[in-house]
Amino acid sequence: MAVRGSRLRLYLRPDVVLINVIAWGIALVWLLPFIGLFMVSVRPYGEVIVRGWWNIAGATFTMDNYIKAWGHESYSIAQGYMNSLIVALPSTVIPIITASLAAYAFSRFSFPLKSYLFLTIILLMALPQQIVVVPLFLAMRSLGLVNTFPGIILVHSGWGMAWIIFFMKNFFDLLPREVEEAAKVDGASDFKIFYKIVLPLSLPGILSASVLQFTWVWSSFFFELIFLVDPSKWVITQRIASMKGEYLVDWGLIAAGSVFAMAVPLLVYVLLQKYYIRGFMGWTVKG
Amino acid sequence: MGEVFLDGVVKRFGRVTAVNGVTLRIRDGEFFVLLGPSGCGKTTTLRLIAGLEFPDEGRIYIDGEDVTYKDPKDRNVAMVFQNYALYPHMTVFDNIAFPLYMRRRELGLTKEEIRKRVVEVARLLRIDDLLNRKPGQLSGGQQQRVALARALVRRPRVWLMDEPLSNLDALLRLAMRAELKKLQKDLGITTVYVTHDQAEAMSMADRIAVMNEGRVVQVGSPEDVYLEPRHVFVATFIGAPPMNLIECKIVEGVGPNPALECPGFTRPLPGDAARVVEARGIKSVYLGVRPEFIAISKAETPGSIPGIVYVVEPLGSEHVVNVNIGEDTILKVKVLGLREKLRPGDKVYLNIDWSKVKIFDKATGEVLA
Amino acid sequence: MGRRRTSLTPILFIIPAFLFILTIVIGPSLATVYMSFSVEGKLTLEKYFEVVTETSPKKALVLLPEGLEPPPWGALVHNIVWMAIHIPLVTLLGLFLAYILRYTIGSSIVKAIIFIGMVIPMVVGGLIIRFMFDKDVGVVPIVFDVLGLESLAKTWTSYPQLSLLALILGSVWLWTGFSLTVYSAALHAIPASYIEAARIDGAGHWHIFWKIVFPLVKPATIIVVIMTMLWDLKIFDIVYVATLGGPGGSSNVLALVMYLYMARAIDYNAAAVVAVILTLLTIPPGLWLALRGVRSGR
């Protein structure tokens, strides 16, 4: 009670009141674009353009924009959802498994050139995607992998590898070694120790890395622009980017498509916030 | 089955030599304790026997078989870790069964046989009602038993324990000492036990190896290392309170032998010590005497050493009296039940049981007599 | 001396990952570098010269042709301007917010709101930027209209003088969640006693902020600056959807020029040149991160 009382008194001080007003003012400004986007998405565009989305008096609310976007004849969001999932799920699972194996080796074993390899891995994290796409496109075109989901999945898997190795290595470094040594004395081989002991204990780390990798692949745009040219293969980001016509812009349709596109990462973020932030901090602060 | 032989084992970590030429022969069925302060190399020695580390020099044999560079899984040893190292994601049953599952094929065990053996060992350690719990739901003592069960279940050749009792509270620790010792004797498994607690070592061991700075200083039964320390380090590390050390000079004696000039008294050197001292030209020594081999009295007797009571530490059934005998030399005297009340400042007289006194070379710390 | 055999296990553990990295990242990167120097089978700097001196609006790196709307900058200059405005704004705003949120009711909600920009696809971010600066539906032009500033009451993304600024401001909105989160963690790690001691010594908010907090979060500041720098250099999605570098190349950036060379002009060597230039710019901050990561990994 005493603590609560003193907290309350703190909040009533004039400077602290001012701070609260500023902080919430900024939060409101930051939220405004999303409110606007949402308002535009649930109202007929004609009404919005005449009266403004901020004008709620006598507003009509409708799901028309969502229905139109979901089944859009050239940029169907439904198909985009499907394609994005087909790309994002394997592009998460494959690198998480392979990178975790490598990260474990970096964390626990000593081998030749280890520190140089690890330095290389961290350096790769800084590279822009632009540095790989030209030769990759040419090679994949000759292999018939352009415009295919396996092709883009390979690209995402390889591209995500570096940061996941880095992240998981830091995670493994924090696991107690005694448990693995106990398993070693108990007769387990290195691979058995990895999948019977280390993997189950690393689930929080794996989940963090997966959550981040999945939302990044879901949100990815540049690789898709290069490797998925055929509109039927387009993922969701490509579809909403194309919804804006050159001359006539139907903001209602774009807004609804945008809400669809960000719903998945937002949902992942809200449901798995703890893991999302942990992964995010592992990606930045430790690095 | 279970004889361990370390032959001139050396282990370095970078520039630090953790284990420096250790040679030990641990007999079958023996409770063998590696005792020493932290950083003395005892845990590294244990890990070398386990196969968690490989030596830079020397050889390790188990039952005559050279296992120096073999992986832990090929040594048939079991280990209990200081923090138990239970698998947190597995039930107690799965924890205990794990070593059996890992060797299932080579041991030719069926699921049912594994279950039987797990239950059997769990019953032995009285944790059979906990088999479905996870380690996180257990008390420290229960976790300890699970760790012991896991190490027991596959009947290893050697049982390795790294300070297994140090995370328990004091009362439980005493109870577990006795229980562990009894278990080991009943099963007859060779046990190598690491601890820094000399009382634990004394109460459990068949033989103790006292280690310091990567070397074995002395190996012997608890009585041996207590009564016949071969080095000042052993004398002061073992016993609570430790052995009194009085710094004395070697001086010209009245008879043929040189004499000891100590704070508060002078005394001729016994014959065997005198020969060594003269042969090596030793100038100063430590006189070592255990606190219980000194008698204290308020009355002066022939040969007694006068002193002033400095402080009295009551320890329940016994007292430790600190007596200043001059030149800032304080002797600890262990007294079973004080007949007369002693207070700081009282004048007292000490009688040393000279037959129990050890003499150490001050320069090398080695025992002379 | 019978040494222990070197174990194969670590090799088996890292091989799958390195196969991926070699084929998808390292191999193609080296090939790109090679392509940037290779013209009709010879290795020359010709392409670099051509790309750097190019002045057409969609491809210019340094300067636009004479006579176009000011400022006459190319994509590389835009990236630098972007960093010059974006990095200080994001750093200061993030630290300021992280600090005042310690005294704010419902601070975790405020944090979550500001972090949304980090979670959504950047494509959506770009669309929202365009939307917010649109004179028909957006809020920014209307606010300026109310304030009577005619010159700012228009669709920013359609005017060369304003399009880059609109994108940069939008990127502040998207990226502040990053600096706020990093700074919040850093502030959390400062023992409360430091600030309490300063308060007892009579320091006000201003002094506590600049004399105690700011020096103590220096490592976080370095991270924010480096990561923001990398993000600004690689910026692509929001530019692509909001302006496509226009109008007249006034908001073009390096990554977009690279794309336009590759996908529109089908000039792979020129695309490789831009990619290499972009990569060279990311290497100093990347190297800094790498060395730091190796050191902390010890």
Cβ separation C2–B68 shorter than 8 A: yes
Measured between alpha carbons, how far is residue B352 from residues B109, B345, C34 in Å? Answer: 63, 21, 90
Least confident segment among A12-16, B5-9, B232-236, C179-183: A12-16
- In chain B, residues 287-346 whose CB comes closer than 8 Å to chain A: none
Per the structure, the complete domain to which residue C207 belongs is given by 80-252
Lowest mean pLDDT among B181-190, B308-317, B335-344: B335-344
pLDDT value for B58: 93
| CB spacing of A178 vs B81 below 8 angstroms | yes
Distance CA C284, CA B34 (A): 53
Query: C181 with A277: CB under 8 angstroms?
Result: yes
Architecture of domain B4-237: 3-Layer(aba) Sandwich (3.40)
Does C4 contact B57 at a Cβ distance shorter than 8 Å? no
**pLDDT beyond 80 at A147:** yes
Domain count, chain C: 1
Distances (CA, A) of B286 to A51, B92, B219, B248, B283: 101, 53, 22, 6, 11
Name the average pLDDT for chain B. Answer: 89
A206 and B CB contact within 8 Å: no
Q: What are phi and psi of A215, to 5 degrees?
A: -65, -35
Cβ atoms < 10 Å from Cβ of B344: 12
Nearest to B102 among A186, A200, A201 (CB): A186
Query: Which chain A residues are within 8 Å of B103, Cβ to Cβ?
Result: 187
Report the CATH number at residue C203: 1.10.3720.10
Mean pLDDT to the nearest integer, C127-147: 87
- Rg (chain A; Cα; Å): 24
Asked if C2 lies within 8 A of B57 by C-beta distance, the reply is no
Facing A266 at nearest CB: one of C119, C178, C292: C119
Global model pTM greater than 0.80? yes
Name the band, by pLDDT with cuts 50, 70 and 90, for residue B304. Answer: confident
Q: What is the pLDDT of residue A8?
A: 66
Rounded mean pLDDT, B75-103 = 90
- pLDDT at position A92 is 97
Q: What are the boundaries of each domain within chain B?
A: 4-237, 244-361
Domains B4-237 and B244-361 are alike in CATH topology: no
Q: What is the mean pLDDT of residues A182-187?
A: 90
The confidence band for A1, taking pLDDT boundaries of 50, 70 and 90, is very low
> Which of helix, strand or coil describes residue B65?
strand
Distance from CA of C50 to the nearest CA of B (A): 55
Query: What is the predicted pLDDT for the residue at B354?
Result: 86
Gap between the Cα atoms of A97 and A93, Å rounded: 6
d(CA B143, CA A179) in angstroms, rounded, equals 13
Q: What is the pLDDT of residue C70?
A: 62
CATH number of A70-284: 1.10.3720.10
Reported as a pLDDT band with limits 50, 70 and 90, residue C54 is confident
A–B CB contacts, 8 A cutoff, strictly below:
60
CA distance C206 to C189: 20
* Chain B CB contacts of A185 below 8 Å: 50-52, 72-73, 77-79, 160
Q: What value does the mean pLDDT take over residues C123-127?
A: 95
Assess if residue C57 is contained within a domain. Answer: no
- Give the separation between CA B94 and CA B98, rounded to whole angstroms: 6
State the Cα–Cα distance between residues C217 and C225, nearest whole angstrom: 12
Nearest Cα to Cα of residue A235 among A176, A149, A168: A149
How large is the average pLDDT for residues A4-17? 70
CA–CA separation, A202 vs A172, rounded Å? 7
Residue C62 has pLDDT above 90, yes or no: no
Q: Is the domain B244-361 a CATH 2.40.50.140 member?
A: yes
Is C234 a member of any domain?
yes
In this complex, is the C-beta atom of B71 within 8 Å of any C-beta atom belonging to chain A?
yes
Instruction: Tell me whether residues C275 and A131 touch, CB distance under 8 A.
Output: yes
| Shortest alpha-carbon distance between residue C13 and chain A (Å) | 5
**Per-residue pLDDT band at A137 (split at 50, 70, 90):** very high
> Is B46 an 8 Å CB contact of chain A?
no
Mean pLDDT is lowest, of B41-45, B192-196, B349-353, C208-212, for C208-212
* Those residues with Cβ within 8 angstroms of residue A12's Cβ, 6 or more apart along the chain or in another chain: none
Question: Edge-to-edge strand order for the sheet containing B347-352?
Answer: B294-297, B347-352, B305-315, B318-324, B330-336
Residue B56 scores a pLDDT above 70: yes
Is C271 a domain residue? Answer: no
Instruction: Give residues with Cβ within 8 angstroms of A145, minimum separation 6.
Output: A151, A154, A227
Say whether the peptide bond before residue B241 is cis (omega within 30 degrees of 0): yes
Q: Where are the domains of chain A?
A: 2-62, 70-284
Residues of B in contact with A189 (CB under 8 A): 73
pLDDT band at A128 (very low <50, low <70, confident <90, very high): very high
C-alpha C16/C-alpha C24 separation (Å) is 12
Residues of B in contact with C1 (CB under 8 A): 57
**Separation in Å, CA of B101 to nearest CA in chain A:** 9
How far away is chain A from the Cα of B362, in angstroms, using its nearest Cα? 41
Confidence (pLDDT) at A80: 94
Report the residue of A121, A130, A226, A285 to disrupt the C interface, i.e. the one with the largest count of C CBs within 10 Å. Answer: A130
